[in-house]
Structures are given as structure tokens and as C-alpha cells.
Amino acid sequence: MTSLFSPLTVRSLQVPNRIVMSPMTREYSPNGVPGPDVAAYYTRRAVGGTGLIVTEGVAIDHPSAVDSPSVPRLHGEEALAGWRTVVDDVHAAGGRIIPQLWHVGPLWGAMADVDPAVRPMRPSGLWGTPGKTVYSQEYIDASAVPVAAMTQADIDDVIAAYVRSARNAVEVGFDGIAIHAGHGYLLDAFLWADTNRRDDEWGGDLERRTRFPVAVVRAIRAEIGDDLPIFYRFSQHKQQDYLARIADTPEELGVILCALADAGVDVFDASCRRFDLPAFDGSPLTLAGWAKKLTGARSMAVGSVGLTKSLRDEGPAESASIDNVHALLESGEIDLIAVGRLHLADPSLAQTLRDGDVPVFDRAVHEARLH
């Protein structure tokens, strides 16, 4: 257990162990305002000993950031007051917490009915070619209709919205910033060649497709200064197609991640369906392992930790050994391990793991535990 319960410092953030609560969308914040129940939800995990809490995705200050009115936002007096309570309560319990800034981009309308007058932000106006996905055919058909590609004004507005929300996070008292840039959402849509078919400075080859995420990170770093860490979630898979990839080789992945590290990312949050699988043929390194090897930055792995199946696989997800977590931490391949569903099964997950147990996750009570 030494590796799992050793402290870690990233800029001003000091965590007592390597266990992170992974972001999980909840939709329990009416009108985007986190209430006392949200504060209690996160505080229970802080009391339970989790080293770092990354909140559910939080809407940035942009009209098409997130479609569900029950997803919390990081702008507006009432929402910010709610987040102050969350942060204060988590800190009082000895925890650390950072918000995950979120813009859904092409996936606008996936969670809720939306105003047809609001145009989703898509690099080239495209939703993405559907492949292996859990979305309904009705939603796919509606989303397949192209919209106008993002203009330079749109790009400037979105970058400014990320900056405003990052500034709000600092003022509220969060311990850092996390950015959701995977799963087919806006920043990822610029990286994915299928959704970014631009031929200007924001698209074309891989280096140019990386420029928008880099611009967002650089702008946030300039706004928050050098004190707080920036976490960056990325993935190969998309919700439009779980078999899609942004990089077919380590070299291609390096083009993306090294530019982001140079812009100010401190920790790469590598999202996979299975965190411990090799990322590329010919090497046992995981996606998080490659992120660390290529950039020298810290890396965090996530994806079905302590479970036999990923969320999208059919059948019950039974508990499994976390020996592979210890192995990756001991070898230095990863620095942090993010855990989602086991934090629902047991708010005191850290203590349970310290005691040598793995909590049982029951898919049937998943929604109840989110609350």
C-alpha cells in the first residue's frame, strides 16, 4: 500500500495519497446551482480519505457549454455561492477539490432537449461519423445534420469563457483546474480528424488540430498564474465512436501532449475503458504511461479500476483486485489513480483500500449513489 498512500505535490496542491475521485455527471444541481446536497456528496468522500476530488463536469460560461439545466455551472452569483459552500466544506474535512471545466461541443443535445436557436460549437459543423456508440438512432439522426463551422469569433468567445470560469474557480477557492478534453467533446473534437476538417490555422495536420486545446490551456494558465495545477483529461475513444482514435502511434500522441504540456498542463488524465491495457502495439505502456513518458508531466489513469467490466459492457461489474494499480504506481508509470464507481459504492473508499478490501459495486444502485 506504500505507493497508493504516499503523498504527492503538484505546484501548490499537496495530496496525502494517490486516490482521486473521478468526475461523474450527476445532474443534481437545479438551474446549474449546486446545493447543500452536492456539498454533502463531495464532503463524504473527503471525510473518507480520498486524496483529491475532481468534480463532475461543470459548465463554463458559454451559451452552448452544457445542455442539461441540472448540470452545475461555474458562473453566476448563485452557482458560485453554492460552490463556495462545497469547497469550504471539503476543505474543512481535510480534502482537496478541483472543478472539471466542460464544454460539450458537438454533443450538444445529448442530455436534454435544447433550444434550436442555439448553435452547437463544432470545429467544422460536423457531429462525427457514428460508430460503436450507445446513443439512440433518433439522436444520431438529428445530430448528423451539419451546422455552420465555428468562426474565429466563436473560437475567441469560447476561449474567453474558459478563462472566466477558471478565474471564478480560483475566486471560489478550488485547489486547481481540470479540463475535460476527451470523449468527443469540444476540445477533443478539434483533435479528432473526423470532426475537424478545417483548412485554416485551427485544422489540417495534427499540429494545427492541436492549436485550439493548446490555446485554451495557455489562456487558463495565463489567467490563474503559476501556483495552481492544471489537469487535462484526454482520450482516444469518442462517445460518437468508441473505436475512434486521435493518435495511431506514440509519435502522434507526443505531438498533441507535448504541446499541451508546454502550454501549462501539469497532470494528464488518461481516460480509457480499461485503465491498465496497453495503448499501442509493441509496448506494454498504458495510455497514462505514454503520457508521462512523452511529456515528463504527471499522469493519472482512469477506467474501470477495481471492476471486472467497463461501464459500457453488459452484465454486472463485479469487484476485482487492484494489484495492477499498485504495480503501475510502484513502477512510476503513473502518479495518480482516478476512481469513479467504487467511490459510489463506498464514500470511504480510501480507508477501505487501506484496510485491504475492495468495495462491491452494485450497478442497480448506481443512480441512487450518485445522489
Grid look-up 468526475 returns: 23
Pair 209, 203: CB distance under 8 Å:
yes
| Helix 152-172 × helix 211-224 angle, to 10° | 30
Question: And the C-alpha cell for 183?
Answer: 470523449
Q: Are 288 and 301 in contact (CB under 8 A)?
A: yes
Q: What are the beta bridge partners of residue 84?
A: none
Spatial distance between the Cα atoms of 2 and 7, rounded to a whole number of angstroms: 10
Q: Are 4 and 326 in contact (CB under 8 A)?
A: yes
**In angstroms, rounded to a whole number, what is the distance separating the alpha carbons of residues 130 and 186?**
16
Catalytic residue among 41, 42, 162, 185: 185
Rounded-to-10 torsion of CA 25, 275, 293, 228: 30
Retrieve residue 304's grid coordinates.
Answer: 474501470
Whether 135 is catalytic is: no
The identity of residue 142, as a single letter, is A
Q: Nearest 5°: phi and psi at 141?
A: -60, -40
As a whole number of Å, the CA-based R_g of the chain is 19
- On the CB side of 200, how many CA atoms lie within 13 Å of its CA? 10
User: Using an 8 Å Cβ cutoff, are 290 and 250 in contact?
Assistant: yes
Catalytic residues: 185
